[in-house]
Amino acid sequence: MCGRVAQTTTIERVIELTEIAGKLDMTPHYNIAPSMELIGIVATPSGDKHWQKFRWGLIPHWAKDPKIGFKTFNAKADTLAQKPAFRDAYRKRRCVIPVDGFYEWQRLGTMKKPYFIHNTDGMPLMLAGLWESWNDGTGQLFSCTIITTNANSLLSEIHHRMPVILDLSDIDLWLGPEVNPQVASLLRPLQGGSLEKFPVTHKMNNARYIEPDCMAPLSD
């Protein structure tokens, strides 16, 4: 799973990297949990890309209660096309969530040890996601989910799942108007040695703790 992320890189820097322009306030956040706000990239049917604020936890357009989002903050890559909560968004509403890194926990007996995972070069990770627009009659709410796949060799030491991480060059394909074998081929574990993991403070287990040291490495 992927249940916590950090978004601290300025929107100006992410715009520079992705070449997707736009104006959007992006306050650095070191410990984002489901139901909180995420910033992502979406595309219109004509292919124009823009930035969008989301509530983390997908609320399908047919949902009667937004609380479903507490169960849909992740979507398994291997069942996107079958699960009612995700299949329509997979076909039509894919998004990219740029993060500085994500957190995962290693279970050690009755304890869980938190780790932060990020790019060794400090570049943001581009996570594959889905988005929806939901309206209960009082207003429009945009929500998203982060897609997960099997863990690679680095992450499998602490957990069996990891988010799908896209190359910058794959963003256009992922946000394209159709699902095809090329799009499906992106739903794979990231390979190679570009990721690093290190243990972090247990204080970040509390989603209300949002200090910069959430991302600071601890000695094993």
Query: What is the rounded CA–CA span in Å between residue 136 and residue 66?
Result: 9
For 204, list phi and psi in degrees, rounded to 5.
-75, -10
pLDDT score of 13: 86
The tens place of each residue's pLDDT in the chain, 220 residues long, gives 799 999 998 878 888 888 887 777 778 999 999 999 999 999 988 888 999 999 999 999 999 999 999 999 999 999 999 999 999 999 999 999 999 999 999 998 889 999 999 999 989 999 999 999 998 778 899 999 999 999 999 999 999 999 999 999 999 999 998 888 999 999 999 988 899 999 999 999 999 999 999 999 997 5
Tokens of 116: 């932060």
pLDDT score of 90: 96
pLDDT score of 166: 96
Q: What is the CATH number of domain 4-101+124-151+162-191?
A: 3.90.1680.10
The catalytic position among 95, 104, 144, 214 is 104
pLDDT score of 139: 85
- Predicted TM-score (pTM) of the model is 0.95
SS3 of the chain: CCCEEEECCCHHHHHHHHCCCCCCCCCCEEEECCCCEEEEEEECCCCCEEEEEEEECCCCCCCCCHHHHHCCCEEEHHHCCCCCCCHHHHHHCEEEEEECEEEEEEEECCEEEEEEEEECCCCCEEEEEEEEEEECCCCEEEEEEEEEEECCCCHHHCCCEEECEECHHHHHHHCCCCCCHHHHCCCCCCCCCCEEEEECCHHHHCCCCCCHHHHCCCCC
Q: Where are the domains of the chain?
A: 4-101+124-151+162-191
Q: Are 90 and 80 in contact (CB under 8 A)?
A: yes
Q: Are 75 and 1 in contact (CB under 8 A)?
A: no
pLDDT score of 220: 59
2 in active site = yes
95 in active site = no
